[in-house]
Copies of this chain bind each other. A is one copy, B any other.
Amino acid sequence: MTEITRPTLIIDKEICLQNIERMAKKAEKHKLRLRPHFKTHQAAKVGEWFKQFGISQITVSSVSMAEYFASNGWSDITLAFPLNILEISRINRLADSIKLNVLVENREAAEVLALKASKKIGVFLKIDTGYNRTGIPAGRTGRIDSILDILSKNSKLTFKGFLTHTGHTYTARSTNEIFSSHFDALLKLKQLRNRYQKNYPGMELSMGDTPSASICGNFDGVDELRPGNFVFYDLTQHKLGVCEISDIAVKVVCPVVAKHVSRNEIVIYGGAVHLSKDTLQNTDGKELYGRVIINHDGEKVLLDTKNYLTRLSQEHGIIKVTPANFKLINVGDLVEIIPVHSCLTANILGHMITSEGEFIEMMPKY
């Protein structure tokens, strides 16, 4: 920490291991396969940490990410993003070397896949259980039937089941809303299972946003969980009530470069290119880009929400503080910022350092 001179993503390996262990135990208790989403960390070394908890199957969000983790020894990967038919050649190449599942949600993609899949590929149908981002609305069995019909034309393709991302849990205003969105998604998936299991006895149900995976206790009928963010957690998850601040494994350490007493503002070297621009609404109604930990008398102190990262430009961050805290922070100090959205923060920085000082490279950007 004392050797840090510029914005640096610090990852606490011990907290990550605790987070993974907790989720792995929960999955085991509910007889679920944990297939964690690796888009959060995008790092081969962090991926290794999952292995001691029996994880051998993973989720990714792009062909590039699948290639990266395949080249790092992962041989069972679900590409949880609507099939991009322009990448079909790379998908075939991948499927030649690993067990690959893809997602289909429309006839156009199903037809290209049925025509061009030359290797064994598992296919999940992406179901929209209310998030309204993408996927087949759960009630649209006509569309499901016709996609299954198209896929059946190519014997390389195996229908694996239904997959959903209950992403609307991220806009929940209470944990009750998370429970309710999760339960609703569960019911919709189970109706699909009831309808299709007879013809497809091997089919599975796959769910897995971090909020519901963290706090819900009913996974009846579900086979697989795919949360990603839980390995790091962040302020978004904390605000949702699904993790404690002490569960958050990543912080961006930033140098203090200026102070403005008339505005009670601290300027840090740490901006949009280090933290990303995701925000939360702070207790004062304003946009919050991160919370602040300072060193005081040799101890780390998390400041309350009257002190927070309030503005970001490309390389500058502006921290609003109370007059009392203003005096405790000096030019040349290092402060730690807890990020709003750890996935985007890790992605934008492109590398991390463990609290033990180990450098962790992330997947290349191309």
Which A positions have Cβ atoms within 8 angstroms of B? 4-6, 39, 61-64, 81-87, 90, 105-106, 108-109, 112, 132-134, 137, 167, 255, 257-260, 262-263, 267, 269, 272-273, 276-278, 311, 313-316, 318, 330-332, 334, 343-344, 347-351, 365-366
* Complex Cα spacing A61 to B6, Å: 12
* Complex contact A344–B5 (CB within 8 A): no
- For A272, list chain B residues within 8 Å (CB): 276, 278, 344
Contact of A108 among B84, B112, B332, B343 (CB under 8 A): B332
CA distance in complex: A272, B334 (Å): 28
Q: How far is the CB of A51 from chain B (nearest CB, A)?
A: 24
Contact B331 A257 (CB under 8 A): no
* Chain B residues whose C-beta falls within 8 Å of the C-beta of A5 in the assembled complex: 84, 86-87, 90
Residues of chain B within 8 A (CB-CB) of A348 are: 273, 347-348
How many chain copies does the complex carry? 2
- A167 adjacent to B332 (CB under 8 Å): no
Contacts of A311 in B (CB 8 A): 133
Question: Which of A39, A64, A269 has most B Cβ within 10 Å?
Answer: A269
Question: In chain B, what residue has the closest Cβ to A81?
Answer: B315
Residues of B within 8 A of A258 (CB): 82, 105-106, 109, 134
- 26 example contacts (A-B, Cβ-Cβ < 8 A) are as follows A5-B84, A5-B87, A61-B315, A62-B315, A81-B269, A82-B257, A82-B258, A82-B267, A83-B257, A84-B255, A85-B332, A86-B332, A106-B258, A106-B331, A108-B331, A109-B258, A109-B331, A109-B332, A134-B257, A134-B258, A134-B260, A272-B276, A272-B344, A276-B276, A314-B344, A347-B348
Most buried by B among A4, A260, A350: A260
Given contacts A267-B134, A332-B108, is CB(A313)–CB(B6) below 8 Å? no
- Distance, CA A263 to CA B132, complexed state (A): 9
Cross-chain contact A314 with B84 (CB below 8 angstroms) = no
User: Nearest residue in B to A349 (C-beta to C-beta)?
Assistant: B365
Q: What's the nearest-Cβ distance from chain B to residue A124, in Å?
A: 14
- In the complex the two chains form, is B316's CB within 8 Å of A134's CB? yes
Q: For residue A278, which residues in chain B have a CB less than 8 angstroms away from its CB?
A: 272, 277
| Contact A330:B84 (CB < 8 A) given known A61-B315, A313-B167, A314-B39 | no
Cross-chain contact B133 with A267 (CB below 8 angstroms): yes
